[in-house]
Amino acid sequence: MRTEAVLTIARREYLERVTSKGFWIATVLMPLFMAALVFLPSLLLLKTRTTHQMAVVDETGVLGPALVAALAPKSPEPERGEGLARLGREQAEKQMARFEVDLVPPGEPEAQRAALDARVLAGEIASWVRLGPEVLTGGRAEYRAASVSNILTQERLGEALTRVVSRVRLEQAGLDAGQVEDLTRATRLETVRVSATGGRAEGGMTGFFLAYFLVFLLYMVALLYGQQVLNGVLEEKTTRVVEVLLATVRPFELMLGKLAGIGLAGLTQLAIWLATAVVLTAPGVVGALAWLPEGQLPQVEVGLVVHFLLHFLLGYFFYATLYAAIGAASNNMQEAQQFVGFVTVFLVAPLLLMMPVINDPDSVLAVGLSLIPPFTPLLMMLRIAVKMPPLWQVALGYLLCTGFILLLVELCGRIYRVGVLMHGKKPTFAELWRWLRYA
């Protein structure tokens, strides 16, 4: 391989992109677009926060007032949860419907049911609940509403009812209210990750978040830059520059140079965005950290960050190479678009495999999957975040994935070289296979 040829090609691709107007327009517009995407929904949610008006027919005489009290808005328990989780919960509670409960004395069942259903249909109340005496002995409470798809609201109502019913049952069994309060307090897990450097309190979700962040990042980047790689590869076919290039460099060198150049241009843009995001959110983050209790600062090891970056790069170049392969096999954009959905398969498949890996990161399944090159960037990263795998596995993952990408580049180059000289006709898979072995 002639490194200087690869560098010359990479340099050209990089400069052509970074010096284009479109690049800088996108670089400026994207953060604005993202900001709008983040802030608009919460602004809208603030405005659309609803009140759930409901009627409760209490035939037990004890459950009704207790339920009203349980559903009344209250300040969150200050000690519950930590950092992000608490912020998230508060945000969710803020966005949930507020209950407005109207206690209705029981009447003649049939007539009352008809009357309340009529009120529901007229839109005066959203729902009504009948609490019959059987509720206290394990029976069901009847929930009637025009719409029964508001799962969050129903879940909250169900939870409140369960709490109230069990408290009443306990009181009826002879315990006093204070005791009941103590006895029914919920238990929460304190998660501690054990690592070689000693155990320490840590959110068990860190690995999960990191992996999801990586998926999100890769997905975004694949969508954003895959198209550019595709365009770049198709460009030489359409402008017919390729013949001169193929006479001086090997297809592999050409492909590698293009991928590196376009890839680095994408990373430059991403770095600018990230830097902007860090600068803009820094005051907020510092503020949030100040609120966290001592010792609960989210800790991220340097090693983890390095692995994250390396896996990101691997994933990035893997998807870019897939797009390049599509470009190499197509004659024009329309043809290429038909294959683009295919790339998503490689993003979604590891996503579906995440749960088994998280649950048992050392299982044969998890180790095997994380060593399969297309899955390595996501799944090996996930394993590293959840529980550091043996070093040889991590190293093997890097090695296999890098080798796989280089192999793809080589195949890509071959398809490109032959495909470029056969304009006009869409290749069949049989032809693609012949092209791979040819040349």
Do β-strands 200-201 and 127-131 pair in parallel, antiparallel, or remain unpaired?
unpaired
Exactly one of 5, 141, 304, 351 binds other proteins (CB under 8 A); that residue is 5
Q: Is 197 in the site for other proteins (CB under 8 A)?
A: no
Give me the torsion for CA of 57, 60, 64, 66, rounded to 10°: -170
Residue 410 touching other proteins (CB under 8 A) = no
φ/ψ (deg, to 5) at 297: -60, 130
Q: Name the segment binding other proteins (CB under 8 A); options: 4-12, 219-227, 283-291, 366-374.
A: 4-12
- Tokens describing residue 112: 């009352």
Among 205, 250, 268, 372, which residue sits at the site for other proteins (rule: CB under 8 A)?
250
Whether the Cβ atoms of residue 55 and residue 131 lie closer than 8 Å to each other: no
Residue 27 as a binder of other proteins (CB under 8 A): the answer is no
Does residue 100 sit in helix, strand or coil?
Answer: strand
Interface with other proteins, residue 243, by CB under 8 A? yes
Q: Where are the alpha helices (DSSP H) in 106-205?
A: 109-122, 151-172, 177-183
Q: Which residues contact 269 (CB under 8 A, 6 or more apart)?
A: 23, 26, 27, 30
Q: Which of 162, 240, 333, 407 is close enough to bind other proteins by CB under 8 A?
A: 240
Smallest distance, Å, CB 18 to other proteins?
Answer: 12
Cα–Cα nearest to 133, from 192, 73, 60:
60
In the complex, minimum distance from the CB of residue 241 to other proteins, in angstroms, rounded to a whole number: 4
Chain centroid to Cα 229, Å, comes to: 24
242 touches other proteins by CB under 8 A = yes
Does 247 bind other proteins (CB under 8 A)? Our answer is yes
The DSSP element (H or E) to which 41 belongs, if any, is: helix 21-48
Q: Does the protein bind other proteins through residue 245 (CB under 8 A)? A: yes
What does residue 130 show for φ and ψ, rounded to 5 degrees?
A: -110, 125
The one segment of 222-230, 247-255, 288-296, 395-403 that binds other proteins by CB under 8 A:
247-255
Least distance to other proteins from the beta carbon of 239, Å? Answer: 4
**DSSP states of 178-240:** HHHHHHT-------EE--TT--EE--TTHHHHHHHHHHHHHHHHHHHHHHHHHHHHHHHHHHT
- If one asks whether residue 426 binds other proteins (CB under 8 A), the answer comes out as no
Which of 130, 211, 230, 236 is close enough to bind other proteins by CB under 8 A? Answer: 236
- Give the binding range for other proteins (CB under 8 A) out of 2-10, 206-214, 284-292, 380-388: 2-10
The pairing of strands 51-58 and 127-131 is parallel
Q: Is 9 in the site for other proteins (CB under 8 A)?
A: yes
417 binds other proteins (CB under 8 A): yes
- Quick check: 333 binds other proteins (CB under 8 A)? no
Shortest Å, Cβ 24 to other proteins: 14
Which residues form the interface with other proteins (CB under 8 A)? 4-5, 8-9, 12, 15-16, 20, 235-236, 239-250, 417, 421, 438-439
